[in-house]
């Protein structure tokens, strides 16, 4: 409608006119253009114009189309090659998301605490872990089994009871007390962090590894140095007792 009106306005204002007797009357180009602009600026010529949102969307689509056309021309194979590249990028993004898990800021010491609820015994954590495992809730099962490991070490006085301890801190401290299992403790803590803070999904094999570690730790006795005794202390005590007994015998013999 606006185009037709513009043509009509220009035709009427710029076309030669005559009264039939005299020479044709013409309007100069510039006044004719200004008159046409004034005419077309009237509201009745813009009733069917697209809204602001539609104009913005049209502008964006034009620019996106231009970018895609340029990319298609630059990529090998044209549009087919560009489609293959986009599909590969999407697959790469999905693979990275599955591999790395959800991105989240670093947790504070409170958020990273191993025990989120009130104090429970190691046996209670083990029972809850097995209940989750039977239902194949492997993430929760792994978390409870890791809590059972740490609580058990606290109950055996191999770790002190410290609120706010993280799984990594517990694994590091327990590795000092039980050096033969230090690597396994760190792996269990890392698995706990991944399912708790990175939304990684555990499976039966990951849970089984942490469960087996828990069972092995229950059968492991710490070295004497880790349990608070100096190496050779018992031998010195035994030697002193033997010497005292010998002295008593000598006294009796005299």
pLDDT digits (tens, 9 = 90+) for 48-70: 666 677 778 878 878 777 776 77
Q: Does the pLDDT value for residue 240 go beyond 80?
A: no
What's the mean per-residue pLDDT of the chain? Answer: 74
Q: What is the model's pLDDT at position 110? A: 38
- The contacts found for 112-119 with CB under 8 angstroms, 24 or more apart, are 112/166, 112/167, 112/197, 113/163, 113/164, 113/165, 113/166, 114/146, 114/147, 114/150, 114/165, 114/166, 114/167, 114/170, 114/192, 115/147, 115/150, 115/151, 115/163, 115/165
Q: What is the model's pLDDT at position 230? A: 41
- Range in 1-15, 135-149, 164-178 with the lowest mean pLDDT: 1-15
Strand partners, 17: 25
DSSP 183-208: HHHHHHHHHHHHHHHS-PPP-HHHHH
User: pLDDT over 70 for what percent of the chain?
Assistant: 60
Q: What is the model's pLDDT at position 244? A: 45
Average pLDDT, integer, range 24-31 = 69
Q: pLDDT band at residue 212, thresholds of 50, 70 and 90?
A: very high
The CA distance from 53 to 134, in Å, is 55
Q: pLDDT band at residue 79, thresholds of 50, 70 and 90?
A: low
Q: Does the pLDDT value for residue 21 go beyond 60?
A: no
Q: Does the pLDDT value for residue 218 go beyond 90?
A: yes
Q: Does the pLDDT value for residue 2 go beyond 60?
A: no
For tokens 């429970």, the residue is: 120
pTM of the predicted protein model: 0.49
CA angle 71, 76, 79 (to 5 degrees): 55
Q: pLDDT band at residue 198, thresholds of 50, 70 and 90?
A: confident
């Amino acid at each position: 409608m606006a185009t037709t009106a513009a043509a009509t306005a220009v035709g009427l204002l710029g076309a030669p006119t005559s009264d039939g007797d005299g020479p044709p009357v013409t309007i100069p180009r510039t006044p004719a253009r200004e008159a046409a602009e004034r005419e077309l600026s009237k509201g009745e010529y813009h009733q069917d114009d697209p809204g602001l949102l539609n104009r913005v969307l049209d502008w964006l689509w034009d620019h996106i189309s231009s970018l895609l056309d340029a990319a298609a021309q630059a990529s090998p194979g044209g549009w087919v090659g560009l489609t293959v590249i986009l599909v590969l990028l999407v697959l790469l993004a999905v693979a990275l998301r599955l591999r790395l898990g959800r991105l989240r800021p670093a947790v504070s010491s409170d958020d990273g605490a191993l025990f989120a609820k009130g104090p429970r015994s190691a046996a209670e954590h083990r029972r809850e872990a097995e209940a989750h495992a039977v239902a194949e809730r492997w993430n929760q099962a792994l978390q409870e089994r890791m809590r059972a490991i740490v609580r058990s070490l606290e109950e055996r006085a191999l770790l002190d009871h410290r609120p706010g301890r993280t799984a990594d801190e517990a694994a590091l401290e327990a590795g000092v007390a039980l050096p033969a299992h230090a690597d396994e403790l760190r792996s269990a803590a890392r698995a706990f962090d991944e399912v708790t803070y990175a939304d990684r999904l555990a499976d039966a094999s990951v849970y089984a590894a942490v469960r087996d570690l828990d069972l092995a730790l229950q059968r492991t006795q710490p070295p004497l140095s880790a349990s608070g005794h100096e190496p050779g202390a018992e031998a010195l005590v035994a030697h002193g007792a033997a010497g005292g007994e010998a002295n008593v015998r000598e006294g009796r013999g005299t």
